Structure 1
Amino acid sequence: MKSRLLSLTLAPAIGALAACSPEEPGPVKIIETVTLNETGTGYAPLSENGWTLAWSDEFSGEAIDGDKWGLDVDCWGGGNQERQCYTDSTENASIVDGKLVITARKQEMTGPALPAHMRAAAEDPDATQTKPFTSARLVTRGKAAWKYGWIEVRAKLPQGQGTWPAIWMLPETNAYGTWARSGEIDIMEAVNLGTECAECPGGKENTILGTLHFGDLWPNNSLNSTEVAQPGSLDDFHTYSLIWSEGKMTWLVDGTIFAVKEAGDWSTAATDEPNAPFDQAFHLILNLAIGGGLPEERGLKGVSEEGFPKEFEIDYVRVWQCDTEVASDGACPTEGG
């Protein structure tokens, strides 16, 4: 089935940064929308093609592995006026039947007004904020980060107006400066899944996005984003992947490529190096936001309080890296079979 391609416009992109971490909230500027080219199915990282499993979490233990994941605790709202506080409570993130379950609850909470890395420079580092929802954000920051690789996450996404699940990456160190000079990689994000949508197949919102953020410091930052219809049922698990090599990124859903971006499609104001800022190590983030610029400006608008709690279920996370000595042509191919 041919995927539906949506072009981003400036209006819905205002504040469209659930996955990103600007120093303060603000609009983003679109420089290009990538065209979707269908390229077939069956892409997988095969060992005979040089791909080696470097890191994974199958969530087979009784609790979240603290050697692999940290949990951010703050009520900042991601710089997007999101409506959740992130907690380290098992009510918001836990292992259930071999899966990581991130749960957003309609539950008022007061907590730190800023994330930990911003508090030291704040006028009032002990400031608090109260939000009407709680959720969780897991990060491999300080524990695992990668420069290039094949990142794959199998997950089932929550539905409802105002939901904003994301699988994404931020630089381990801001080598080119703070956001967005050092970049951001959004492997998958989705908003308002399952809500009424006249132009969507089946009449329900089913769009997923793959996005890069880069350029200059906010508010002169830029993005390059592709939106497509999620194949299959929203009630099923799907596999979201990014193949990241020198000067090239490829996005897949269920083994089908839906976007390719190359050096020249991104930049940073910090240097003329063509691969920058995506030539540094990035760590992985899994989170479920409620509300914020992108979901509240789309769909039915705002946040519906119906159907809580909302669950973002992750079956596994796997990261492969390329062994060029095994790869026949010196570069690991993407096609696996």
Structure 2
Amino acid sequence: MNKFLPIICFGLILFTSCTTLRSTKDNQYIYLQKEGRENKKWKLVWEDDFNGAAIDSSKWSKIPSGGSDWNKHMSSNSDCYDQSGGKLYLRGIKNPDTLKDPRPYLTGGVYTKGKFAFQYGKIEIYAKLECAQGAWPAIWMLAEKDKYGKYPKNGEIDIMEHLNMDNIIYQTTHSYYTLDLKEKTNPPHSGTAKLNIAEYNKFGLEWYPDKLIFTLNEKETFRYPRKPDVDSSQWPYDQPFYVMIDQQLGGAWVGKINPDQLPVQMIIDWVKVYQ
């Protein structure tokens, strides 16, 4: 036996123990953080700086339309998207062709579903939000694998939601515990944070096995802890989630759309995920 082999093996073991592991060969896009890794220095595992000429289809898909307030205007129309100058532009617009698509408004959004998901770590998105009546830009995450069943049993993590011309953002968790059991104060499931809407801001989340820490410009703004003495549905955040970024329009929460203030857009400079 080569006398150096034990040293080499030890080095390999030490190296792998400090890195982030993918889940399986069948799910190479899912990043699972090893237990105890949260106590070490963050390591960049995934990013997009939008420097290409087009949206990277290996990382993102355009969000399809649906029947909810948030996605009823989602569209693949190219007028809702632009990637140039190292930035991604997601737009809410008046529909230029209602004969082809009868909806009065169209919106752009992207997600990493089926292409990138992670469990535990830190995500930061550097972006600028434009304002308009009825504008509802959001950065959020949903479960990749539906571990506990259909929505809302797998939870929802809203890193940032902005309404109209507000100078605050909302940072929220939703789950069976908060929506069906109505447990919104034990612990509080939502917070707000003030921002300068005219500037780029860094929207973030630090996700641990026992807590979610929401940040704005690298400062903690809201914390959602895991509680051991409540219904287990309070913490569905022990599974991989994918990332969603979208410029929504209208709905019961944000209110009516003012078409004279369109188009409106969210401008994303970069997205980074660490574990």
**Shorter-chain-normalised TM-score: which range?**
0.7 to 0.9
Give the equivalent residue in structure 1 for 2:168. 207
Matched, 1:255 2:229: no
Do the aligned partners of 1:291 and 1:303 also contact (CA within 8 Å) in 2?
yes
Measured after TM superposition, the shift of residue 91 of structure 1 is 1.4
Measured after TM superposition, the shift of residue 89 of structure 1 is 2.8
Do the aligned partners of 2:91 and 2:107 also contact (CA within 8 Å) in 1?
yes
Do the aligned partners of 1:58 and 1:98 also contact (CA within 8 Å) in 2?
yes
Give the equivalent residue in structure 1 for 2:41. 50
Give the equivalent residue in structure 2 for 1:161. 133
Post-superposition CA distance 1:171-209 (Å, at most 9, x none): 00111111111100001111012xxxxxxxxxxx21101
TM-score (norm 2): 0.77
Q: 1-side partners of 2:44 and 2:199: how far apart?
A: 25
Q: Residue 90 of structure 2 aligns to which amino acid in structure 1?
A: I
Give the equivalent residue in structure 2 for 1:102. 90
Q: 1-side partners of 2:226 and 2:167: how far apart?
A: 29
Give the equivalent residue in structure 2 for 1:171. 143
Q: 2-side partners of 1:221 and 1:50: how far apart?
A: 37
Give the equivalent residue in structure 1 for 2:13. none
Runs of 4+ that moved beyond 4 A:
108-111, 216-223, 265-268
- Which of 281, 286, 307 is matched with 2:245 structurally? 286
Post-superposition CA distance 1:218-271 (Å, at most 9, x none): 6556651101222xx311101000000111111111111111110029976xxx
Matched, 1:227 2:192: yes
Give the equivalent residue in structure 2 for 1:120. none
- Which of 234, 254, 257 is matched with 1:295 structurally? 254
Q: 2-side partners of 1:288 and 1:265: how far apart?
A: 36
Post-superposition CA distance 1:294-329 (Å, at most 9, x none): 111xxxxx22122211111000000000xxxxxxxx
Q: 1-side partners of 2:145 and 2:71: how far apart?
A: 27
Give the equivalent residue in structure 1 for 2:158. 186
Q: Residue 258 of structure 2 aligns to which amino acid in structure 1?
A: S
Q: Residue 52 of structure 1 aligns to which amino acid in structure 2?
A: K
Q: 2-side partners of 1:109 and 1:217: how far apart?
A: 40
Do the aligned partners of 1:145 and 1:283 also contact (CA within 8 Å) in 2?
yes
Q: 2-side partners of 1:309 and 1:187: how far apart?
A: 24
Gaps of 5+ in 2: 1-38
Q: 2-side partners of 1:110 and 1:308: how far apart?
A: 16
Post-superposition CA distance 1:24-65 (Å, at most 9, x none): xxxxxxxxxxxxxxxxxxxxxxxx952110000000100000
Q: 1-side partners of 2:208 and 2:94: how far apart?
A: 40
Identity of counterpart residues, as a percentage? 30
- Secondary structure (helix, strand or coil) at the match of 1:150 reads strand
Do the aligned partners of 1:187 and 1:240 also contact (CA within 8 Å) in 2?
yes
Do the aligned partners of 1:181 and 1:277 also contact (CA within 8 Å) in 2?
yes
Q: 1-side partners of 2:102 and 2:228: how far apart?
A: 39
Do the aligned partners of 2:52 and 2:84 also contact (CA within 8 Å) in 1?
no
Q: 1-side partners of 2:179 and 2:207: how far apart?
A: 25
Do the aligned partners of 1:181 and 1:217 also contact (CA within 8 Å) in 2?
no
Q: How many residues align?
A: 233
TM-score (norm 1): 0.64
Bigger radius of gyration: 2
Task: Please provide the CA RMSD for this pair.
Answer: 2.7
The alpha-carbon distance between structure 1 residues 246 and 83, as it changes in their structure 2 partners (threshold 3 A), is: closer
Q: 2-side partners of 1:50 and 1:83: how far apart?
A: 37
Aligned ranges 1:1-337 → 2 under 5 Å? 49-74=40-65, 76-77=66-67, 79-80=68-69, 85-107=73-95, 130-193=102-165, 205-215=166-176, 224-230=189-195, 233-264=196-227, 272=232, 276-296=235-255, 302-321=256-275
Measured after TM superposition, the shift of residue 273 of structure 1 is 7.4
